[in-house]
Structure 1
Amino acid sequence: MTVQSAYQEEKDRLAASIQDIESQLRAIGPRYTGDDFTEQMLDLQREERRQRLEIAHREPYFGRIDFEELPNGNQMPLYIGKAGVAKQGSNELLVIDWRAPAASLFYSFTGGEAPGTFDSPDGEVSGYIHLKRNFMIRQGELVRLVDSYVRGQEEEAVTDEFLLYRLGENKDNKLRDIVSTIQGEQDRIIRADRAKALFIQGVAGSGKTTVALHRLAFLLYQYADRMRAERMIIFAPNRMFLDYISGVLPELGVGDIQQTTFSDWAVELLEHSVRLSDPSETMAYWFEERRTAEEIEAASGRWKGTMAFKAMVDERIAAFEQSIVPTVPFSPLDRLELSPEQMREWYDTDYGEETVMKKRDRLANRIRRWFESELKMRGVADKKIRAKALTKFNAFVKKIPSFTAVQLYASLFQGKQAAAAVPKAIAAETSARLKQGIAAAEDLAPLVYIHLQLYGLDKPAFDHIVIDEAQDYSPFQLEALGLCQRTPSMTVLGDLQQGIHAYTGIQRWSELMDLFTEEQAAFHELNRSYRSTMEIIEFANLILGEMSGGVKPAVPVFRSGDPVETVRTEESDWLASIDRTVREWKTKGAYETISVIGRTALECEQIHGYLVGRGIEASLVQSRQPSYGGGLTVVPVYLSKGLEFDAVLIADAGESAYGPLDAKLLYVGCTRALHMLKLYYRGERTSLLGEDA
């Protein structure tokens, strides 16, 4: 079949598919607005079907596989799309959902004459692939068709042509789904077993965040009877990043998954009993003021995130629990006494795995039931005597210790006993802050942990947890989150080479993985970078030199572009140079998103003010910003992580801006670029870039 005839055949098939989908949409009818419960449930089912059909209508499918199942030899074309659709009035599938077992062939098969296999509910299915075809469909029109494999074709297949075409597209202000270009190693992660803590080390641009979001969509499809969207949660590094990724799950037909930051979630769980100290102050301290390696290592954030500190917290909780059962008898009336031994027996044997404060409250209620029963058995009806007994009960119970999470945590840093265990500077600083009702970011994990141990989770346990930028998490944070699940089911992703929060984060994945048994955890590494050109990736790898944490350097896909430029500029001409480059890129019209990345917030304010003052429309990214608007953006390097831009200008890569401890920061800045990267520097060029050419 010629290319032209294949193209026409697919155009006709597409038109027929869209017509079928439109007919099904019309048949659904209007929403039900009455009060009948059965009709309401049926309406919800119709609405879910409508949403799937609307997704399919925008882009019915993106791939096709011609599969000959063995041993019967039946060959059939399978069209793969974001939503499965059956033909109207038939059980025959018009489109196979990308999450279905058979669709895995589209992602796992990379060529060759050997049979392909996939796991179905009835067991393993194998067969020959005769054709693998990619489509790009926009507004109901077939824009592009690429055959990445044709069985028996002598010429080498253009395996990566479609991928390279998609990677070469410009980006806007939102992360997009990758269902049409999921690679084999990504697909294995997406379809991995749910009952594990899955750790993903992914280099910049490897698609790890998108893979995690697609994994959620897959889990909801594969385990529809056991997992629910409202019992899943995504922890992102900041609110702006949440806005950036907000379009992916709805486009995959998934809603109701909670998306938040650990800080916001923790403050809400603690019922706003504390307010979080301004994170911009923390970032200014560590990123805008130059800190030594010794200061970073001694930071309270790292210490409070360790398992050693958790052990101290556990000791304090255990001591509190031990003090709950009274050591003196309770005597509401003369010659009526409840012994401490009886109260201890009730506490130890009757309340099972209840949380500490629930056990305390149950003990208090048990004591009350005891004395009320005794009064009844003794025939005590006198109201004054009963009132006196109740007063004694209230006074007795009031002496049973009771703590909120904040109160118990604060007690760690107060008194002579605490002073011996906690560094004095940390104790004084933390105690003073908590008295004002303020918690630092590093206080949240122990506060959440204590709250959950005392009171438990007042909502259903999480079916699945996604943690993005997990290299910035502490072991204590994962321990706290672990209390929110019955069994581990997590997707934990990040990049040790982007671990810029060295004052709180980890150095090796084993620090987090060791919290789980060998059966509970699995590790995957994504080394291929799909974001940037070869020139940008190779340049960025040189900045890091030797990789830390045992991870491998990024391997770019074969997508070549412009060489990376490093240009010296005089102090007097620095802002004007930035202005000229930005104008040149905007005039060129080749880039939808451009970013000027500065070293500090103050530097970015200066650059932004200069550009705006000369009539250039630009946005300034600041701490706690809720959204990213695209276009031309000026952003401090430590807030750029997770974002990507068509073109990036590093405002100053001088030695005074990036010293030996700042390699990961500069690496993050450079790997934001998809197609173009340029670096200015004032004075001496940073030694991280090697010798000046």
Structure 2
Amino acid sequence: MEDNFQSAYQEEQHRLTLAMEEIDRRLEKLRAAPVYTGHDFTEQALEAARESKRQSLAKSTQEPYFGRLDFETAGGKRTPLYIGKVGVEKEEVTEQPLVIDWRAPVASLFYSFTGGEEAASYDAPEGTIEGLVYLKRNIVIRQRILERVADTYDRNNEQPAVSDEFLVYRLGENKDNRLRDIVSTIQAEQDQIIRAVRNTALIIQGVAGSGKTTVALHRLAFLLYQYKEQVSAGKMVIFAPNHMFLDYISDVLPELGVGDIQQLTFQDWALTLLNQDVRLADPSETLSYWFERTDGLPELSNEVPGRYKGSLTFMKLLEDMLAGMETLSVPEGDFSPWDGKVLPRSEILNWFEQEYKPYPLAKRKERVMARIHRWVEMELKKAPSAAMQKEWKKRASQREKSYANKWPKFDALLIYKQLFQAVKGSSTGSVVGARAKLPGVVLKQTAADLKQGVVREEDLPALVYLHILLNDLDGNQRFDHVVIDEAQDFSPFHVALLDRFVRGHSFTILGDLSQGIHAYRGVHTWEEMSSLFNAEDTAYFALTRSYRSTMEIIEYANTILEKGVQGGITAVPVFRSGNPVRMIAYEPSQRTEQIGRALERLTHQEYRTVAVLTRTLAEARELHETLAGRGLGVNLIDGSMQQYQGGVSILPVYLSKGLEFDAVLVADADEQHYHSSAWDAKLLYVGCTRALHELWLMHGAPLPHYAVPENNEGYMTGWPE
């Protein structure tokens, strides 16, 4: 076995040397060529191609490839294929590429092949290609140095089988403050999602640590490669829960050679589109209300404001309201620009209801008023004298302004306020009728918010929808593909709205219902999303394998779901064992001392990122102030952060969703802080599944019933020796 390893290592070292020599030579040659800066279109295109090759080769100089697949097509010869983040062609284009781009059709074999003697196949533009895989080899190259060679399949071995050894090796590495690409370790079920056809709404249920976010980012890179003539990076968008999360994932796409993809929060996108002076309520106020209450989460009926305002029922109510406004838009009475001249209302109605009917309301009003103005100008030419014309023009100008003020003001925010507030003299009958259909609790809360001059996040889909119903949208506002991360926190209204902005229902919608801690405004089942599309336009994938945490952590987190949620989707761990989950009781009077002691023990290990998770934001602030005062280097994450700094972080558990840390210490993991509701169990589950290698739970009161394991395996009590 050792001889085989040495032979493989020497073979790959020789091949790496030759590959680096060729890459360096070609890059040097391209860099030596003068850069064209003239205006000739043909030369500009040639220079753009050269620059693209320079960038591709530059990305390959340190880590040219990560895998090898020996493949023999039917009737062909066995060929070693080297797979990398960026493809590198040889100078003779008829030859096999030096490195094959991971997104190329043949490269899919590297991910989809899971062993066996049978033929393997992949889909290519010319049809399905079949053949035999003889070798699948993982290769680790860092800074031009060959570090590791691991064969995960060898047909010539007496017992050919795929092994998780290389995957476990990569998963065991410590993390820094950025999410990284997984090109070298994409698994077959992940690859199937990445390579799914474009015009489909993919809904991905993925357990904590299943790589949902990373898979979605790789899917964007694949779509740009596969459909390069049909999509552009600038027309793709990722909607993420907050700015800190956007910063956390910001390195993945550049590592894959992809730029210019929009990365936004829904709030930022909506407020920019509205282009109005809309003051958004402080999100921390909403979070504090729901996450720091002591009586657990109340029954979440569809009349909870966030759920109702995220429903298709509310969406339809807005449509009906505007339809009613349409019939009452044209002011009563004829228009008279000056005494003795009349434009009949019947003519104005004809323009509004017939000629300009294809336009949305605001633009129909604009066009009707412009038509009236042109009619006035034509009539002014019939004036018997210049003096009379001047007098008519003055009166017409005043009366046009007065007539325009009689029309409804087609402004999204104003109409929304009229819906929830009885604004005297400004509400049409359709608005009053719509208001009467609102659930009382929704009407009361939103009216109070609007009276204070603020709107909540849950109001934004409605405001944007009113805006586009009134003004329409143009091609520049449309997307080629939309990724929604943490989609369990989005509403059906969110997705139905975004579907108006995306071509061909091209979505990647990903989340985890077991982490649905924003259930007061998010979805409770994925059917709430899939029902928005025709069956042929959607596909559902379930990722149940978790690659983040050790077996001990995942099995403990599964216990919380099984006992506390009873219906949560549990994870299947990769065979990567680590330290047991540790539960440490403390006397309430010693809480801060003990947490500080535990944090010091964890930070003395070789961990790059450590998190202390509290139940509330107030507790996080208090603990941060105390520990920082003792000289510990700790960062507070309070929801206002634009960047994730890594190191040691203190944050409330509900702000940790989407992040991961080498070690996690859950402070106050007891029944006084986590109650018996399924919602509280989900909160604790989220906290525990942030840990990659080490999980400690500290508690002053007894643990909640769902946090007590059924057996003694995988966890320990008390301090480590």
TM-score range, shorter chain: over 0.9
Per mean C-alpha deviation after superposition, the further-off stretch among 171-180 and 364-373 is 364-373
Q: How does 1:310-349 map to 2 (within 5 A)?
A: 310-332=315-337, 337-349=342-354
Q: How does 1:308-387 map to 2 (within 5 A)?
A: 308-332=313-337, 337-351=342-356, 353-373=358-378, 376=381, 382-387=389-394
> Residue 423 and residue 614 in structure 1: after superposition, are their counterparts in 2 closer, same or farther (change >3 A)?
same
In 2: Cα distance, 1:445 partner to 1:134 partner: 46
- Once the 2 structures are TM-superposed, how far is the Cα of residue 333 of structure 1 from its aligned partner? 5.7
Identity of aligned residues (%): 51
CA deviation after TM superposition for structure 1 residue 638, in Å = 0.4
Match of 1:204 in 2: 208
- Number of aligned pairs? 691
Residue of structure 1 aligned with 2:19, choices 12, 17, 20: 17
Q: Which runs of 5+ in 2 are unaligned?
A: 423-431, 713-721
C-alpha separation in 2, matches of 1:365 and 1:454: 17
Q: How does 1:656-667 map to 2 (within 5 A)?
A: 656-661=672-677, 662-667=680-685
Task: Give the equivalent residue in structure 2 for 1:79.
Answer: 82
Aligned to 1:256: 260
| Counterpart for residue 636 of structure 1 | 652
Q: 2:498 is matched with which residue?
A: 481
Question: What is the aligned counterpart of 2:560 among 528, 540, 543?
Answer: 543
The answer to whether structure 1 residue 566 and structure 2 residue 583 are counterparts is yes
CA distance 1:4–1:691, shift in 2 (3 Å): closer
In the superposition, relative to structure 1, how do residues 684 and 380 fare at CA in structure 2: closer, same or farther (>3 Å)? Answer: farther
How many angstroms does 1:379 deviate by? 8.5
Q: Does 1:229 align with 2:233?
A: yes
**Which of 614, 629, 639 is matched with 2:630 structurally?**
614
* 1:399 corresponds to: 406
- In the other structure, the counterpart of 1:440 is 456
AA at the equivalent of 2:369:
A
Deviation string 1:286-311 (CA, Å, 9 cap, x unpaired) is: 11123444365453112211122222
Q: Give yes or no for the alignment of 1:218 onto 2:242.
A: no
Offset at 1:79? Answer: 0.8
SS at match of 1:545: helix
CA shift, 1:367, in A, is 2.8
Q: Kindly tell me: are residues 224 and 546 of structure 1, through their superposed partners in 2, closer, same or farther at Cα, counting changes over 3 Å?
A: farther
Letter in 2 for 1:505: G
In structure 2, distance between residues paired with 1:258 and 1:549: 38
- How far, CA to CA, are the matches of 2:282 and 2:52 in structure 1? 41
- Indicate the SS of the match to 1:246: coil
Question: Contact conserved, 1:32 with 1:40, CA < 8 A, in 2?
Answer: no
Larger CA deviation: 288-297 vs 78-87: 288-297
For the Cα contact (< 8 Å) 1:508–1:550, is it kept in 2? no
Which 4+ runs in 1 deviate beyond 6 A? 377-381, 546-551
- Say which is worse superposed, 503-512 or 337-346, in terms of deviation: 337-346
Counterpart code for 2:227: Y
- Work out the CA distance in 1 between the residues paired with 2:436 and 2:605: 65
Q: Is structure 2 residue 467 aligned with structure 1 residue 451?
A: yes
- State the distance in 1 between where 2:40 and 2:288 align: 55
Task: State the Cα distance separating 1:447 from its structure 2 match.
Answer: 0.7
Alignment of 1:547-558 (within 5 A): 552-558=569-575
1-side partners of 2:304 and 2:675: how far apart? 20
Contact 2:291 2:616 survives alignment (8 Å): yes
Is residue 421 from structure 1 mapped to residue 437 from structure 2 by the alignment?
A: yes
Moved more, 362-371 or 557-566: 362-371
Task: Give 1:493 deviation, angstroms.
Answer: 0.4
Secondary structure of the residue that 1:596 maps to in structure 2? strand
Q: What secondary structure sits across from 1:113 in the alignment?
A: coil
Contact 2:380 2:392 in 1 (8 A): no
Contact preservation (8 Å) 2:564, 2:706 = no
Moved more, 494-503 or 373-382: 373-382
Shift of 1:524: 0.7
Matched AA of 1:497: S
Once structures 1 and 2 are overlaid, which stretch shifts more, 602-611 or 106-115?
602-611
Q: Which residue of 2 aligns with 1:679?
A: 697
Segment drifting more, 568-577 vs 339-348? 339-348
When structure 1 is superposed on structure 2, of 103-112 and 269-278 the one drifting more is 269-278
- 3-state secondary structure, aligned to 1:58: coil
Residues 559 and 709 in structure 2, CA contact (< 8 A), matched pair in contact too: no
* 2: CA distance, partners of 1:203 / 1:422: 36
Aligned amino acid, residue 457 of structure 2 = A
- Partner residue, 2:426: none
Counterpart Cα distance in 2 of 1:11 and 1:526: 36
Who is 2:688 aligned against? 670
Q: Out of 509-518 and 309-318, give the one that drifted further.
A: 309-318
Q: Is the 8 A contact 2:481 2:503 kept in 1?
A: no
Gaps of 5+ in 1: none
> Is the 8 Å Cα contact of residues 326 and 343 (structure 1) preserved in structure 2?
no
TM-score by length of 1: 0.94
Q: Which residue of 2 aligns with 1:497?
A: 514
> Does residue 129 of the first structure (1) align with residue 146 of the second (2)?
no
DSSP 3-state at the match of 2:131: strand
Partner of 2:419: 412
The CA deviation at 1:385 is 3.0
Mapped contact 2:662–2:694 kept (Cα < 8 A):
yes
Q: Aligned partners of 1:570 and 1:549: how far apart in 2?
A: 31
Provide the TM-score with structure 2 as the length reference: 0.91
1:419 deviation in Å?
A: 5.2
Distance in 2 between the 1:328 and 1:485 partners? 42
Amino acid at match of 2:408: P
Matched, 1:164 2:182: no
Instruction: Give yes or no for contact 1:201–1:493 (8 Å, CA) kept in 2.
Output: yes
User: Equivalent residue for 2:152?
Assistant: 148
Cα displacement (A) at 1:154: 1.3
Q: CA deviation at 1:395?
A: 2.9
Greater mean alpha carbon deviation, residues 398-407 or residues 667-676: 398-407
**Residue 158 (structure 1) shift:** 4.7
- Give the residue type in structure 1 aligned to 2:412: A
Indicate if the aligned counterparts of 2:305 and 2:441 stay in contact, CA closer than 8 A. Answer: no
Deviations 1:443-501 (A, max 9, x none): 11111111121123353311111100000011111122122124311111000000101
1:81–1:97 contact (8 Å) kept in structure 2? yes
C-alpha change, 1:630 and 1:128, in structure 2 (3 Å) is same
Residue 147 of structure 2: SS of its match in structure 1? strand
Match of 2:427 in 1: none
Residue 50 (1) aligns with residue 54 (2): yes
Answer yes or no: is 1:36 the counterpart of 2:39: yes
Which deviates further from its counterpart, 19-28 or 494-503?
A: 19-28
| 2:668 corresponding residue in structure 1 | 652
| Contact kept? 1:543, 1:667, Cα under 8 Å | yes
| CA distance in 2 between partners of 1:486 and 1:327 (Å) | 41
Alpha carbons 2:69, 2:133 under 8 Å: kept: yes
Q: Does the CA-based 8 Å contact 1:189-1:215 persist in structure 2? A: yes
Counterpart Cα distance in 2 of 1:119 and 1:665: 43
Cα separation, 1, equivalents of 2:579 and 2:564: 25
Q: Structure 2 vs 1, CA of residues 497 and 167 (structure 1 numbering), >3 Å: closer, same or farther? A: same
In 1, distance between residues paired with 2:113 and 2:655? 38
